[in-house]
Structure 1
Amino acid sequence: MTELYSEHPVMFKNNPLGFILCLILIPAGGLGLLILLTWHLKNKASKLSVNGNEILFEKGLLSKERSEVNLSSVRTTKVKQSFFNRIFGVGTIEIYTAGDSPEIIASGMPDPNKIRELIKANQNAE
């Protein structure tokens, strides 16, 4: 099965002020470097993938949490973007199947509207 979308959350575009602050803190005892390293590992530990049949969201480095949702069971896809998120093209995507709470919440994802469109297009294809 081919992957239509496969991305990790982004750092700079998701929080540019925090990123710049970390860069400023690097000469001040290396605290900024430690924060950037932790932030980078956290982002690389999360991944959202969409293929023709399902959505897969993985979190964790040493212990893994994996959520799989079949595209046919998706009822609602919600994209949340602040003003700065819209400028930088990132956002939070929430995927709902049944009930009031989302099955998948992926924050800081690049081009979240592309994910929503892929889900909608593959649902209509079925």
Structure 2
Amino acid sequence: MAYIEESLSKGEEIHEVFKLHWFSKIPMVIWIILALPTLGLTLILAIWEWLKLRSLEQGVTNKRAIRKSGIISRKTDEMKIGSIETVEIDQGVFGRIFGFGSVKITGRGISDVVFEKIDNPLEVKKSVESIEST
């Protein structure tokens, strides 16, 4: 949660930081399992997946929706709460069964912030919309 905390402006408070669903760790687990037949070569890919998950931050403050990714470099998508027009949920069949999905926040113009692999996307949508109304 380092980036979100570090980037807070005066009077800004963290409302919620969204957790990844356990399904997002499946690629890492597959690479670990494949390490035995590949004599450990896929462990590098497992470490890479783990680092990607560790470096992903997704949350909202009382002023912004924030998504930060990047292991060495940093890429952020941010949107002011007042600019939000729609909050959409994208869940496939497995997402509905296991309770994960993506939440797309669309703002004015062509900008959007997408929270991916989120645990309980309906609660995330409600959380973002409750901030918007205040």
- The interval holding the TM-score normalised by the smaller chain is 0.7 to 0.9
- Structure 2: gaps spanning 5 or more residues: 1-11
Partner in structure 1 of residue 49 of structure 2 = 39
Q: Normalization by structure 1: what TM-score? A: 0.80
Taking the aligned partners of 1:35 and 1:87, their CA distance within structure 2 comes to: 28
Any residues of structure 2 matched to 1:35-114 within 5 Å, and which? 35-99=45-109, 101-114=110-123
Contact persistence 1:8–1:46 (CA under 8 A) = no
Partner in structure 1 of residue 5 of structure 2 = none
Q: How many residues end up aligned between the 2 structures?
A: 122
Taking the aligned partners of 1:34 and 1:7, their CA distance within structure 2 comes to: 27
The two structures, once aligned, show a CA RMSD in angstroms of 2.2
Displaced runs of 4+ in structure 1, greater than 4 A?
Answer: none
Taking the aligned partners of 1:54 and 1:83, their CA distance within structure 2 comes to: 30
Taking the aligned partners of 2:29 and 2:49, their CA distance within structure 1 comes to: 13
Contact persistence 1:97–1:103 (CA under 8 A) = yes
Any residues of structure 2 matched to 1:1-12 within 5 Å, and which? 1-7=12-18, 9-10=20-21, 12=22
Q: Normalization by structure 2: what TM-score? A: 0.76
